[in-house]
Amino acid sequence: MKKTLMALGLACASLLALPALAQSAAPAGLYQALGEKAGIDRLVDDFVNRAVKDPRIGAHFKDTKPAALKESLADQFCQLSGGPCKYEGADMKSAHADMQINKGHFHALVEVLQSAMDAQGIPFAQQNRLLALLAPMHRDVITVK
């Protein structure tokens, strides 16, 4: 039930409020709520380990170096959440252009991230705050309609 509510909340947020949110600063205190850099590193480590093993999306990571992906995602999550990191990786459209990602893959990835956040003890409200910052990226990540 919690996952269904979170997925519904993510969908609603991305449709209604996220263009404005994406242009504004990260929600106050999110970086701290995620455990700062060390907490984000633990989250991303867990998330990537789960994603590469997930039967729905694992194949998308077969040519990816997990350590490099973890470093890049940690910087991205850190910057988005208001931390001092600077994401210097590729833009989402370029990074995912040839990956044949559909809505089902994207939703599976969100579920994997939610599971990792649950396992890391990140409170539900903070999970939603991070997901709200990531949701606008779906336009560039989903490459197959």
Domains of the chain, residue spans: 2-141
pLDDT at 101 over 70: yes
The pLDDT of residue 8:
36
pLDDT at 102 over 80: yes
Question: What's the CATH number of domain 2-141, 1.10.3720.10, 3.40.190.10, 3.40.50.300, 1.10.490.10?
Answer: 1.10.490.10
Read off the pLDDT of residues 50-83 as tens digits, 9 standing for 90 and up: 999 999 999 988 888 999 999 999 999 999 999 9
* Paired tokens of 137: 């990226």
Q: What is the mean pLDDT of residues 37-55?
A: 97
* Paired tokens of 58: 């694992």
pLDDT at 38 over 80: yes
96 labelled as ligand-binding?
A: yes
The rounded distance, in Å, linking the Cα atoms of 81 and 25 is 9
